[in-house]
Amino acid sequence: MNWKVTFYSEKIELQTLRFPKGILAHFLHIVEMIEAFGPNLGKPYVGKLSSGLYEIRPKGKEGIGRSIYCVAKGREVVILHSFIKKTYLLPPLPNLSSKGYLNSHQRIISPVSHGL
């Protein structure tokens, strides 16, 4: 059974699809790999941020992008936030409590360990 990648909102989807062409192409490639093999890809494709939050790490000649996601039950990856990195450090992020996002939509974080 394949995984499903969704966006938390239409606004997040539009924000992600506005990535520069090279970064967007790499992002879409990583999403295809997640759908085929699950979110357990490891670096350089994905990385763990904190308990329940992970990042997709696309790169292109234009720079580096990041998409923050969590994993929900039902083999679903939910993208919560996307941005282009402008410095080495992560910028201040909105309150991305994965449980808060998911509970607002009656979803529950999957208890499965992702090995990241």
- Tokens encoding 115: 């090995």
Q: What gap in Å lies between CA 77 and CA 94, rounded to an integer?
A: 19
Write down the architecture of domain 4-103 according to CATH. 2-Layer Sandwich (3.30)
Of the pLDDT bands very low, low, confident and very high (cuts 50, 70, 90), residue 100 is low
Domain boundaries, the chain: 4-103
What's the mean pLDDT in 89-113? 51
Q: CB under 8 Å to 113, separation ≥6 — which residues?
A: none
First-to-final CA distance of the chain? 21
Which tens digits make up the pLDDT trace of 7-36? 998 999 999 999 999 999 999 999 999 999
At residue 24, the pLDDT reads 96
Q: What gap in Å lies between CA 34 and CA 31, rounded to an integer?
A: 5
- Cα 12 vs. chain centroid, distance in angstroms? 11
In the numeric block, the tokens 């357990």 are attached to: 40
Q: For the purposes of burial, counting CB atoms within 10 Å of the CB of 49, is it exposed (0-12), middle (13-18) or buried (19 or more)?
A: middle
Of 44 and 91, the structure prediction assigns the larger pLDDT to 44
pTM of the model: 0.77
